[in-house]
Amino acid sequence: MSYGLQTAGIQILAGIDVNADCEKTYTSNISGARFLRKDITKLTCPELQKELNLKSNDDSLIFAGCSPCQYWSKIQTDKRKSQKSAFLLKAFQKFIAKFRPGFVLIENVPGLLTNKRESILPDFLNFLKVRGYTFDDGVINSNHYGVPQNRFRYVLVATRLASVIKLPKASPNPSLTVRNYLGISNGFKKIRAGTQDTTPFHHTAASLSKKNLERITITKKDGGDRTSWKDDKNLLIPAYKGNENMFRDVYARMYWDRPAPTITTRFNSFSNGRFGHPEENRAISLREGATLQTFPKTYRFVASNKATIARHIGNAVPPALAESIGLQLLRTFDGQV
């Protein structure tokens, strides 16, 4: 989010995250911004004011909240692990109440809006209304905002400076496909599963077991899935026996001429989704995943291991989407919306 807003022309003051693993990547790419390793449930308004020299009622100030979304995701995981970070919107409110920024921005998974039974969103929207903010929100497909993947997200933009604010207008573009971002013509040389790129480019592909290498070798190029080997008793996965239509994207290849699926934190694993390369016998590399997220090839990912880099990439707001939102906020600030 910070990188995309910065690209739009917005000065980034700081990013706040409890995870120390993010710091080097953040400070290597966000010009002039500070990284505050803080837990916002414990961070106080006076502490934040002192750290960043913030002033209340600053019309040019933007607060962006992109809290962890695992709790609200449709993926069936143990919710107890993510419950602590599920309600950070409440902690975010105290900073809005104190500083009354000109703009508020939220990005999360659609479940924050659609999970009517548990969601704290209605209370947050009422909180904004009571404090004089107007807003526009909804579920958008990032593919309509310059991103070559189908990635649905809940986005909210709010302001106290105007009577109307709108989400940026969707602009579907048929050229936003895997073919126009990956492959040799886009700077990605052919590599094998298990290739380790020790340069900052990180064209690194995960290793495959002997059986998974056999599976992807048999899998039809350009969008093939596990039905290519459903009749091979040696390769068949017992859980899917007789259920070929269950989770068809698992152990599958991307299509060249379609947007990529949502890039998750496990996008570099062939067995975790439609993350097989369209024609090479491997999962997509770390840099390929970052490129499908619209990170420039010069963006630096600094971490001690591949899993952490994959999390940085998969958890991120695609910069192209963030830039689109940032430009819309600037238009609103200038009275153009």
How far apart, in whole angstroms, are the C-alpha atoms of residue 131 and residue 128?
5
Full residue range of the structural domain in which residue 39 is found: 2-172+315-333
The mean predicted confidence, pLDDT, of the chain is: 92
How far apart, in whole angstroms, are the C-alpha atoms of residue 72 and residue 57?
32
165-182: average pLDDT? 98
The number of distinct structural domains making up the chain is 1
Whether 66 is catalytic is no
What does the pLDDT read at residue 254? 98
Q: Is residue 110 part of a domain?
A: yes
Q: Is residue 108 part of a domain?
A: yes
Contact between 108 and 67 under an 8 Å Cβ cutoff? The reply is yes
Q: Is residue 195 part of a domain?
A: no
2-16: average pLDDT? 98
Kindly tell me the sign of the dihedral angle through the C-alpha atoms of 50, 5, 75, 312.
Answer: negative
**Which segments within 53-141 are labelled E, that is strand?**
62-65, 103-108, 134-141
Residues with Cβ within 8 Å of residue 143, at least 6 apart in sequence? 149, 150, 151, 172, 176, 259
Length of the chain: 337
**335 or 280, which is more confident:** 280
CA nearest neighbour of 325 among 108, 106, 69, 125: 106
pLDDT in tens, 299-330: 999 999 999 999 999 999 999 999 999 999 99
Written as one letter, the residue type at 3 is Y
Confidence (pTM):
0.93
Q: Is residue 17 part of a domain?
A: yes
Specify the 3-state DSSP secondary structure of 21.
helix
| Percent of the chain residues topping a pLDDT of 90 | 82
Tokens of 211: 């059986």
Asked if pLDDT for residue 83 goes beyond 50, the answer is no
Asked if pLDDT for residue 70 goes beyond 50, the answer is no
Q: Is residue 215 part of a domain?
A: no
Q: What is the CATH number of the domain that holds 168?
A: 3.40.50.150
Lowest mean pLDDT among 9-13, 18-22, 205-209, 291-295: 18-22
**117 or 15, which is more confident:** 15
Q: Is residue 193 part of a domain?
A: no
Residues with Cβ within 8 Å of residue 225, at least 6 apart in sequence? 219, 248, 249, 251, 252, 253, 274
Contact between 135 and 158 under an 8 Å Cβ cutoff? The reply is yes
Check residue 146 and give left, alpha or beta (phi > 0: left; psi -120 to 50: alpha).
Answer: left
What does the pLDDT read at residue 239? 76
Q: Is residue 90 part of a domain?
A: yes
Q: Is residue 321 part of a domain?
A: yes
Kindly tell me the sign of the dihedral angle through the C-alpha atoms of 237, 238, 241, 246.
Answer: negative
How far apart, in whole angstroms, are the C-alpha atoms of residue 311 and residue 269?
12
How far apart, in whole angstroms, are the C-alpha atoms of residue 213 and residue 11?
46
What does the pLDDT read at residue 160? 98
How far apart, in whole angstroms, are the C-alpha atoms of residue 165 and residue 181?
33
What does the pLDDT read at residue 71? 41
Catalytic residue among 22, 45, 66, 69: 69
Element holding 331 (H helix, E strand):
helix 319-333
- Burial class, 138, CB count within 10 angstroms (exposed 0-12 / middle 13-18 / buried 19+): exposed
Residues with Cβ within 8 Å of residue 123, at least 6 apart in sequence? none
